[in-house]
Amino acid sequence: MKKVLIAAMVLTLSMTVLTSCRDTKDKAKEATEEAAESLDKAGEDLKEAADDATDAMKKAGEEAKEMGEKALDSLKKAGEETMDAAEKAGEDMKEAAKKAIDSI
Protein backbone atom coordinates (compact mmCIF):
# COMPACT_ATOMS: atom_id res chain seq x y z
CA MET A 1 0.00 0.00 0.00
CA LYS A 2 2.88 2.31 0.83
CA LYS A 3 4.41 1.65 -2.58
CA VAL A 4 1.15 2.51 -4.33
CA LEU A 5 0.74 5.65 -2.26
CA ILE A 6 4.35 6.71 -2.92
CA ALA A 7 3.97 5.95 -6.64
CA ALA A 8 0.77 8.00 -6.77
CA MET A 9 2.49 10.92 -4.99
CA VAL A 10 5.48 10.74 -7.34
CA LEU A 11 3.16 10.58 -10.35
CA THR A 12 1.17 13.56 -9.05
CA LEU A 13 4.35 15.52 -8.38
CA SER A 14 5.65 14.66 -11.87
CA MET A 15 2.41 15.82 -13.47
CA THR A 16 2.48 19.06 -11.46
CA VAL A 17 6.10 19.76 -12.48
CA LEU A 18 5.31 18.87 -16.10
CA THR A 19 2.29 21.19 -16.12
CA SER A 20 4.29 23.94 -14.46
CA CYS A 21 7.09 23.58 -17.00
CA ARG A 22 4.59 23.66 -19.85
CA ASP A 23 3.02 26.86 -18.44
CA THR A 24 6.46 28.40 -18.04
CA LYS A 25 7.35 27.45 -21.61
CA ASP A 26 4.11 29.00 -22.91
CA LYS A 27 4.66 32.17 -20.90
CA ALA A 28 8.24 32.43 -22.10
CA LYS A 29 7.10 31.96 -25.71
CA GLU A 30 4.42 34.64 -25.25
CA ALA A 31 6.93 37.04 -23.68
CA THR A 32 9.36 36.42 -26.55
CA GLU A 33 6.65 37.15 -29.13
CA GLU A 34 5.67 40.35 -27.31
CA ALA A 35 9.30 41.44 -27.16
CA ALA A 36 9.67 40.78 -30.90
CA GLU A 37 6.56 42.85 -31.63
CA SER A 38 7.87 45.67 -29.43
CA LEU A 39 11.20 45.61 -31.26
CA ASP A 40 9.45 45.68 -34.63
CA LYS A 41 7.36 48.67 -33.55
CA ALA A 42 10.43 50.45 -32.18
CA GLY A 43 12.22 49.82 -35.48
CA GLU A 44 9.29 51.23 -37.44
CA ASP A 45 9.16 54.29 -35.15
CA LEU A 46 12.90 54.86 -35.61
CA LYS A 47 12.55 54.55 -39.40
CA GLU A 48 9.69 57.07 -39.40
CA ALA A 49 11.73 59.46 -37.25
CA ALA A 50 14.71 59.13 -39.59
CA ASP A 51 12.49 59.73 -42.62
CA ASP A 52 10.98 62.82 -40.97
CA ALA A 53 14.45 64.13 -40.13
CA THR A 54 15.60 63.55 -43.71
CA ASP A 55 12.57 65.41 -45.07
CA ALA A 56 13.15 68.31 -42.69
CA MET A 57 16.81 68.53 -43.72
CA LYS A 58 15.89 68.49 -47.41
CA LYS A 59 13.34 71.24 -46.87
CA ALA A 60 15.83 73.33 -44.89
CA GLY A 61 18.40 72.85 -47.65
CA GLU A 62 15.94 73.95 -50.32
CA GLU A 63 14.96 77.00 -48.28
CA ALA A 64 18.61 77.92 -47.74
CA LYS A 65 19.24 77.57 -51.47
CA GLU A 66 16.30 79.85 -52.27
CA MET A 67 17.50 82.42 -49.73
CA GLY A 68 20.99 82.30 -51.26
CA GLU A 69 19.60 82.82 -54.75
CA LYS A 70 17.53 85.79 -53.54
CA ALA A 71 20.59 87.28 -51.86
CA LEU A 72 22.62 86.90 -55.05
CA ASP A 73 19.84 88.54 -57.07
CA SER A 74 19.74 91.44 -54.59
CA LEU A 75 23.51 91.87 -54.77
CA LYS A 76 23.41 91.79 -58.56
CA LYS A 77 20.65 94.39 -58.65
CA ALA A 78 22.49 96.61 -56.15
CA GLY A 79 25.67 96.32 -58.22
CA GLU A 80 23.81 97.27 -61.40
CA GLU A 81 22.20 100.25 -59.68
CA THR A 82 25.58 101.36 -58.36
CA MET A 83 27.11 101.09 -61.83
CA ASP A 84 24.22 103.06 -63.33
CA ALA A 85 24.57 105.77 -60.69
CA ALA A 86 28.35 105.94 -61.21
CA GLU A 87 27.87 106.17 -64.98
CA LYS A 88 25.31 108.97 -64.58
CA ALA A 89 27.60 110.82 -62.18
CA GLY A 90 30.44 110.47 -64.70
CA GLU A 91 28.27 111.88 -67.47
CA ASP A 92 27.16 114.76 -65.22
CA MET A 93 30.78 115.55 -64.39
CA LYS A 94 31.68 115.37 -68.08
CA GLU A 95 28.90 117.82 -68.96
CA ALA A 96 29.88 120.12 -66.09
CA ALA A 97 33.49 120.06 -67.31
CA LYS A 98 32.36 120.89 -70.89
CA LYS A 99 30.27 123.78 -69.61
CA ALA A 100 33.16 125.04 -67.56
CA ILE A 101 35.46 124.84 -70.60
CA ASP A 102 32.89 126.51 -72.84
CA SER A 103 32.37 129.32 -70.37
CA ILE A 104 36.08 130.09 -70.23
Question: Which sign does the torsion angle of CA 70, 71, 77, 80 carry?
Answer: negative
Q: Specify the pTM.
A: 0.49
Query: According to the model, what pLDDT value does residue 18 have?
Result: 63
Task: Please enumerate, as own/partner, the contacts of 31-39 that have beta carbons within 8 Å and a separation of 24 or more.
Answer: none
101 residue type, one letter: I
Assign 66 to helix, strand or coil: helix
Those residues of the chain that have pLDDT short of 70 are 5, 10, 13, 17-18, 104
**Of 16, 15, 35, 39, nearest in space to 27 by CA:** 35
